[in-house]
Structure 1
């Protein structure tokens, strides 16, 4: 399947899943969220207005900033959900993986590849709060499986903006933010790139050459703590 991932431009992005992306610096994230303005859709820092852009997403993830606009309602399903062998009653991540893990040494079926993409989109890309694999991403997973030139970077950036809006609203609650989801990992890497000189961040091993920026930024994230502590 690597040739397919290369062809549609998501191979480099897949490599981020090899790293622990669920570890954050809560102080940096929370501090930044206080500066987010839902009306201007930007961080109103003392230095001026700053916001993540499509080119930022492309640089960090390796995704192309161009491609076809994706509308689930307008996409014609080539492979019907009923034609696949996807087990929808096994929605939790561990159960979903177990239910769709094929035998070693056998060819990967269409259903297995779509199931893998479903898990990847839910757990690693958009980070669903329910920790389950929803049917919502079936159409997108199918489009990627069929080598459609979907501009995944735009969907990811839009999801990040929704995440920031939700976080900004949650900050006004008496008990503080809880159950924050969506691609906070992207916000962490973007903030690391913006403030790495200010925070004097250095890579763990300067001699390592990374194939894309996201992999290098993960090694720069300071004072790593788990998401469990951040959400409390």
Structure 2
């Protein structure tokens, strides 16, 4: 598909009206060229100016005080987790990321948030709007984004009971619920409950809860639902909440899948920082192996982009005013042109995962799953949030409108208009 960034010169009000509901908008000039729709306002200048004036840094100067304890729930590795992981024989792409023990890059995540637009659900960087998409969810985690089941209709009456308070944190939780002998459904639910709470959604409690138990039980019974859409919706939600608090000078709250934002930002800046190539990067093994030459190997080659960006380019960095300033000017002024990346996955053939999606298959009718995933990734939709259990939880949703980041999807970029009207 075309990577052209300018809409066809033949566009007109009549043409836009005719194609206003299409997701893939064909060019009048080139048969194989498509832009990502739906088409919004043909003159979006006023909208863009207004929205740019609403992003957080226009109302509040970047300040380290906004971020006290925000990243406290970062998914650090528990000592006994790899043993439990191996016992459950977990091999899913997203589960494998739990052994990465990635270091936090707090300045990178915090600074990017000052550029977040809660109307577009996108970052307004100097080089143009960019956002984590459902395609990124697939490439980084392999989680389901295509199932049509409504997660809000799942049975919320739990089958098992788990004690989570006064249990000694996550280490005590593992001691209490990791079994011996054959893995029971109850133990499997307990394992997935920890994965959902600690490693995927990273709840604000920073400890065991049963907030995601109904999802854990659904996963054990192999019910299909779009966990990838839920994860992306929660990322959008924490960014929207963070930007709202920054604007009023409040402290950004603790919790949320900030690890996903860092993974995505590592792709955005992969030509800016000193990151190894995709073929040279290594990922931790569950347990070391000894080669024929007697040398112990603690790492292996990466099998997915999720593993690649989970491997830190450095030892991680704490938030500081100096680093906040450096990243701010990088996003504000823009990277050098040869360091800008729009489409992150040019080397996807070097990885084995995700197994059910390959870019080279999306135009072949016999590979329906790849076509379905890509169609989902380029189509506007709503993302459910607030579906977990707990106090003061309200079911809600976030808008997903990928036309603002068409270049990330290898499609032509139309001018942004009032895209919310297209949903």
| TM-score, length of structure 2 as denominator length | 0.46
Match of 1:206 among 257, 280, 283: 280
Look up the match of 1:116: 191
Q: Structure 2 matches for 1:92-107, cutoff 5 A?
A: 92-103=169-180, 106-107=181-182
Look up the match of 2:63: none
Match of 1:31 among 90, 111, 127: 111
Look up the match of 1:14: 95
Match of 2:206 among 122, 126, 131: 131
The answer to whether the 8 A contact 1:25-1:221 is kept is no
Matched, 1:51 2:131: yes
Question: Whole-Å Cα distance in 1 between the matches of residues 95 and 218 of structure 2?
Answer: 16
Question: Whole-Å Cα distance in 2 between the matches of residues 221 and 167 of structure 1?
Answer: 26
Question: Quick check: which has more Rg, 1 or 2?
Answer: 2
The answer to whether the 8 A contact 1:170-1:177 is kept is yes
The answer to whether the 8 A contact 2:235-2:257 is kept is yes
Offset, 1:205: 8.4
Look up the match of 2:228: 153
- 1:79-118, Cα deviation, whole Å (9 max, x unpaired): x63x525334456423322221213xx1111111101111
The answer to whether the 8 A contact 2:188-2:220 is kept is yes
Q: Which has the higher helix share?
A: 1
Look up the match of 2:400: none
Match of 2:155 among 65, 71, 76: 76
More displaced, 46-55 or 85-94?
Answer: 85-94
Offset, 1:51: 0.9
Offset, 1:183: 0.6
Question: Whole-Å Cα distance in 2 between the matches of residues 114 and 100 of structure 1?
Answer: 10
Question: Whole-Å Cα distance in 1 between the matches of residues 222 and 166 of structure 2?
Answer: 26
SS in 2 for 1:49: strand
Offset, 1:189: 0.7
Runs of 4+ in 1 over 6 A off after TM superposition: none
Matched, 1:67 2:147: yes
The answer to whether the 8 A contact 1:24-1:221 is kept is no
| TM-score, length of structure 1 as denominator length | 0.81
Look up the match of 1:185: 259
Offset, 1:218: 1.7
SS in 2 for 1:119: helix
The answer to whether the 8 A contact 1:25-1:222 is kept is no
The answer to whether the 8 A contact 1:189-1:221 is kept is no
Look up the match of 2:307: 215
Unaligned runs of 5+ in 1: 228-232
Distance 1:207 1:13, change over 3 A: closer
Aligned pair count reads 214
Offset, 1:124: 0.2
Question: Whole-Å Cα distance in 2 between the matches of residues 102 and 85 of structure 1?
Answer: 15
Distance 1:115 1:90, change over 3 A: farther
Offset, 1:31: 1.5
Question: Whole-Å Cα distance in 1 between the matches of residues 96 and 263 of structure 2?
Answer: 15
The answer to whether the 8 A contact 1:35-1:44 is kept is yes
Question: Whole-Å Cα distance in 1 between the matches of residues 236 and 107 of structure 2?
Answer: 19
More displaced, 197-206 or 123-132?
Answer: 197-206
The answer to whether the 8 A contact 2:245-2:252 is kept is yes
The answer to whether the 8 A contact 2:273-2:313 is kept is no
C-alpha RMSD of matched pairs (Å): 2.7
Distance 1:158 1:32, change over 3 A: same
